[in-house]
Amino acid sequence: MLDELGIQALSRELNSKEQKIADSLLNYKRISGRFTHFNPFSCDPLEIRRRLVADPSCLDAFSTLILPIEDDKWNLGQITLENPPGTTNMQRLEWANNVFKRKAIAAADASYIRHDTHSNLQYAFMQVAVFWKGIGRYLREVSGSLRIGDELYPQGKDMTLFEDEDYQEWNWNMTIDLLDRRFAEHAPFFLFLDESLSISYARNYTQSRQMRLLTSLHQYLDRIDELGIVPVAVYHSLDRAIINTGLKCLACDRDLQCKNCVDRPTDIELSFKTLYDRLFLQDILASNYSRTPCFKPLNSIISKTRDDLTLNLAAFYLRIDNHILRVEFPSKYIEEDKDIVEDIHEAVVADSLLTGGYPMTLMNAHELAVLTSRDRETVNEMVYRKTLEMTARYGINLSMKLTRKSELKRRMIT
């Protein structure tokens, strides 16, 4: 609990760090401008590949990098729509509707109540939602699932309670089931996902946990594809793969491999440590609705080396108003349809035009899936009442006991 003394102390600390706040905000623009000297879009795509092939250790050093896909457009930096939307709301709506006539769009999201290790009854609740939009028509569906006791242990001989990757797999399996039951008949369509398909968030997982997550992700993407649906991740990213690639190709000593200086970053590298791709791209993507050339994301989870990929993705960044969104999808779709990149580009723009720069379908899916504080209290209360019912039925003490810490958390006091 943040009491009055704590609030006063925080206020004093904020006042003492006014200059730090100002420096941080001002430095974004200054640092971004300086990084233009190491802009990877000014580098020959063949040179980028050559540098990464010549130094396999760079992926371990930088953690995340990119490889060009659209070589013929790489040095443009930004790619604009051939037929962009107009400037008025009416023109934008008409443009978006023309896009929706060619391709329907859906989005999926999930929310869950995690098991509480301070209770003698282990249970968790997952709720997933899908929102589908065609021309002049909307469909929505929500599905919930409760797991209790040994249902919260992975199948097999694993003796460990669910971890993050298990909740993710549960979410993906429920989403597939919902898509199959209610939306497969409307395929083909793009399915927007507010999550990273490149799963860079799992860098701190153990290797076995990473492999479990990758296995379930592969199964998820394969099953979506079998339904005739194209999965497209659309999200705000803190990745810095473009910046890392620029530093590797334009700032590093050409004769020195990354493994020789992985623990000794240069002054140039340190000067850009607070810069993320989306900040740098505010200047590169100068035109609204423009995107970067397509690239292949590499990181230490989905890529052992440049050519040894456990998950082959394509990606680009897209500007909508003041938002820089990262877009990812399996690269196999580019091989199957040469127009898929432009179709995805148009679809994300069309769905974001009238909602402040973020896809409307994702916003609706989130609203459907989210479990509010009241929802969580309702689920917890229903489970608690069921334990009382079972106590009365069997005449023995089966009550759900909570530790003092858990009781305080249930009362929203931590």
Give the tens place of pLDDT for each residue, 208-219.
Answer: 899 999 999 999
Distance CA 180, CA 184 (A): 5
Q: In the chain, how many domains are there?
A: 2
Task: Kindly state the tokens that stand for 61.
Answer: 């050093």
Average pLDDT over residues 272-290: 89
Task: Kindly state the tokens that stand for 197.
Answer: 């398909």
Task: Kindly state the tokens that stand for 113.
Answer: 């109540």
pLDDT at 414 over 60: no
* Shared domain check, 406 and 263: no
Domain that holds residue 219: 45-371
| Greatest CA separation for the chain | 77
Under 8 Å between Cβ of 311 and 217: yes
For residue 33, being part of any structural domain is answered with no
Mean pLDDT check: name the lowest of 12-21, 51-60, 62-71, 80-89: 51-60
Nearest CA-CA partner of 280 in 308, 234, 314, 246: 246
Mean pLDDT check: name the lowest of 82-86, 173-177, 377-381, 395-399: 395-399
Distance CA 401, CA 382 (A): 15
What pLDDT, on a 0 to 100 scale, did the predictor assign at position 35?
Answer: 79
For residue 341, being part of any structural domain is answered with yes
The pairing of strands 295-299 and 229-235 is unpaired
* Shared domain check, 275 and 187: yes
Query: Per residue in 143-177, pLDDT tens?
Result: 999 999 889 988 765 678 899 999 999 999 999 99
* Shared domain check, 290 and 347: yes
* Shared domain check, 382 and 341: no
Cα 25 to its chain centre, rounded Å, is 25
Percent of the chain with pLDDT over 70: 89
What pLDDT, on a 0 to 100 scale, did the predictor assign at position 284?
Answer: 92
What pLDDT, on a 0 to 100 scale, did the predictor assign at position 307?
Answer: 63
Non-local (6+) Cβ contacts of 209 within 8 A are: 163, 165, 202
Nearest CA-CA partner of 277 in 310, 300, 299: 299
* Shared domain check, 299 and 278: yes
The one-letter code for the residue type at 79 is: I
* Shared domain check, 213 and 142: yes
pLDDT at 321 over 60: yes
pTM above 0.85, yes or no: yes
What pLDDT, on a 0 to 100 scale, did the predictor assign at position 400?
Answer: 59
Residue 317: in which H helix or E strand, if any?
strand 313-320
pLDDT band at 262 (very low <50, low <70, confident <90, very high): low
Is 189 in a helix, a strand, or coil? strand
Task: Kindly state the tokens that stand for 76.
Answer: 């443009």
For residue 167, being part of any structural domain is answered with yes
